Structure 1
């Protein structure tokens, strides 16, 4: 049950009442400038009454009306009609007695006076009802939009919670391989891992990082991967970025780099390679990752791993203009990501 002391709703009706009063004052000023002062005070007195009555009507009487309570609902509606007519006429009489209302019109009978007051009340009902509906619609639309944003943020955080451990798991596997082989490169790989972890803990938790930070973490990851392979692995990483301070969601590009090693280079026995190119010009980002594979076009089935699937969903939540395409050739796999950075939602 709504509390009769709902301050937010009461404030809404007070503002609607103020607008309703201003409209009447404007009408009186245009049509009856000689008696504008008296009419202004009269309307303030009447509007104060209908504000309270409309609040009760819309927030309680109509809200509780139902078929199960048909008799009580009808009784309350009839009571409101009486309050809007005879009640407002009585309120006018009280104002006259208190000196707060000036009787500018003389009625032939009390019934005529009540009927005249009902005209004022009906206009107020329509006015309050329309503005109340508009306000509630805007609030409902805003709440739905906020709920959608919160849902998308929750899903995006969930995708990140999947991607980051996935990224970390692959990195730890690299170090494990070096440690198992008792490689002298294991200490250096641990040092590089600590840099990656520092980025994940202190930078990747936010919504954006500068592109230069994303490039640095990619470089560290490439260096860490290269420690696992001999000189037969060829890695080419180049970029053309007009503004290194441009914002980019952290680790957004990393799944494509990971995919090149985990599902490409690691399965290639002869002349493995990874070619990576990033360009960002006029807010248009293009990221191309090409890597060697052991499978031919006929042998490899088009099946995306969790990294690429999560990346696609993150792009859906983050941008309105983007494309992610993958192409499997004979012993070569190419992933191309294009994003209009200005289309961030």
Structure 2
């Protein structure tokens, strides 16, 4: 047995468990007190339980070698019975307890509960530890998946905006430098200021406004964009860049098939700890493009919402022949 894998907490737990089991084992209402043989026999049971729990269980039971584990456990059990019988003949010669057949019967029901309790609690301890390891691994996998989903946002953002920027540069638009400046500010936030999974709500809403300003520059006089911001409680936090995807999607698909009459309405409001986000945009169907609801960004944000806000959000996406609407409610956490 390699004791280096036994934690301090487990040693304390085992010590308390053995003391409690020993007290129950040695208790006799007709003959109160703890005798020398109680200590001796319980020490033998402790050694047997250590062999079973710290050697046989890890080596055979946890590796699914059930037959070998069962056979060796039975051998240990009957070895303890035989050792106890030999000691009984020395300590209690001539008594019923020291007789062979009654003695084995007595020892069987004397030893079985003790070893079962000690081994059972060890098995439960290991099961809890394994569950905690599984939970840590699950959290690690989830965090890795979230980081991967979040990392997709930057290329997605750059791809859409560089295409627009290229068009403005070809046209020699006077707004090109301003667009580049706004893009650099947005990218700075993406790369350096929202590394955490959750960020302050007021900070995210501020950047949301910056995103909208950037996209409005690209629309120019081709339509109108309305952004309504309700009163936000700064004491809450929200997943970073979770709302931007919907706004990016609205601008992208409104511009893809329309050269004028673009209409985009965005509204963010809050009541208690619930944030409500509504984003509507008109669009013209383009046969060469996938339907709006099938974009990479929307698949990404759906997955992030499932991971970050399980049972704490409601997302509705409605698409008609010329309008796309997103309705999202989220239950936010306090900072």
**TM-score, with normalisation over the residues of structure 1?**
0.79
Provide the C-alpha distance between the structure 2 equivalents of 1:77 and 1:220, rounded to a whole number of angstroms: 69
> How many pairs align?
325
Measure how far apart 1:325 and its partner are: 1.8
Please give the secondary structure, in 2, of the residue aligned with 1:131.
helix
- Whether the 8 Å contact between 1:232 and 1:272 is mirrored in structure 2 is yes
Output aligned runs, 1:1-345, within 5 Å: 4-9=1-6, 12=10, 15-16=13-14, 18-25=16-23, 28=26, 31=29, 35-36=32-33, 38-39=34-35, 42-61=37-56, 63-64=59-60, 74=71, 76=72, 79-88=75-84, 108=95, 109=98, 111=100, 116-295=106-285, 303-319=293-309, 320-341=311-332
Measure how far apart 1:288 and its partner are: 0.6
CA root-mean-square deviation = 3.6
Shift in CA distance, 68/119, structure 1 to aligned 2, threshold 3 Å? closer
Shift in CA distance, 143/293, structure 1 to aligned 2, threshold 3 Å? same
Shift in CA distance, 341/89, structure 1 to aligned 2, threshold 3 Å? same
Shift in CA distance, 196/290, structure 1 to aligned 2, threshold 3 Å? same
Shift in CA distance, 315/77, structure 1 to aligned 2, threshold 3 Å? closer
Provide the C-alpha distance between the structure 2 equivalents of 1:69 and 1:306, rounded to a whole number of angstroms: 48
**TM-score, with normalisation over the residues of structure 2?**
0.81
Measure how far apart 1:259 and its partner are: 0.6
- Whether the 8 Å contact between 2:202 and 2:232 is mirrored in structure 1 is no
Shift in CA distance, 173/128, structure 1 to aligned 2, threshold 3 Å? same
Measure how far apart 1:146 and its partner are: 2.5
Please give the secondary structure, in 2, of the residue aligned with 1:291.
strand
- Whether the 8 Å contact between 1:284 and 1:340 is mirrored in structure 2 is yes
**CA deviation map 1:70-103 (0-9, x unaligned):** 89985x456424431232456789xx9xxxxxx6
Provide the C-alpha distance between the structure 2 equivalents of 1:71 and 1:150, rounded to a whole number of angstroms: 35
Provide the C-alpha distance between the structure 1 equivalents of 2:94 and 2:16, rounded to a whole number of angstroms: 28
Measure how far apart 1:322 and its partner are: 1.8
**Higher mean C-alpha displacement, 232-241 vs 139-148:** 139-148
Provide the C-alpha distance between the structure 2 equivalents of 1:140 and 1:313, rounded to a whole number of angstroms: 28
Gap regions ≥5 residues in structure 1: 97-102
Shift in CA distance, 236/52, structure 1 to aligned 2, threshold 3 Å? same
Measure how far apart 1:188 and its partner are: 2.1
Shift in CA distance, 29/122, structure 1 to aligned 2, threshold 3 Å? closer
Shift in CA distance, 145/158, structure 1 to aligned 2, threshold 3 Å? same
Provide the C-alpha distance between the structure 2 equivalents of 1:337 and 1:198, rounded to a whole number of angstroms: 26
The runs of 4+ residues in structure 1 deviating greater than 3 Å are 6-18, 26-30, 41-48, 58-74, 76-79, 88-93, 109-120, 299-303
Shift in CA distance, 250/279, structure 1 to aligned 2, threshold 3 Å? same
Please give the secondary structure, in 2, of the residue aligned with 1:206.
coil
Measure how far apart 1:316 and its partner are: 0.9
Please give the secondary structure, in 2, of the residue aligned with 1:228.
helix
Please give the secondary structure, in 2, of the residue aligned with 1:244.
coil
- Whether the 8 Å contact between 1:325 and 1:335 is mirrored in structure 2 is yes
- Whether the 8 Å contact between 2:266 and 2:278 is mirrored in structure 1 is yes
Measure how far apart 1:43 and its partner are: 4.0
Gap regions ≥5 residues in structure 2: none
- Whether the 8 Å contact between 2:60 and 2:69 is mirrored in structure 1 is no
**Higher mean C-alpha displacement, 333-342 vs 272-281:** 333-342
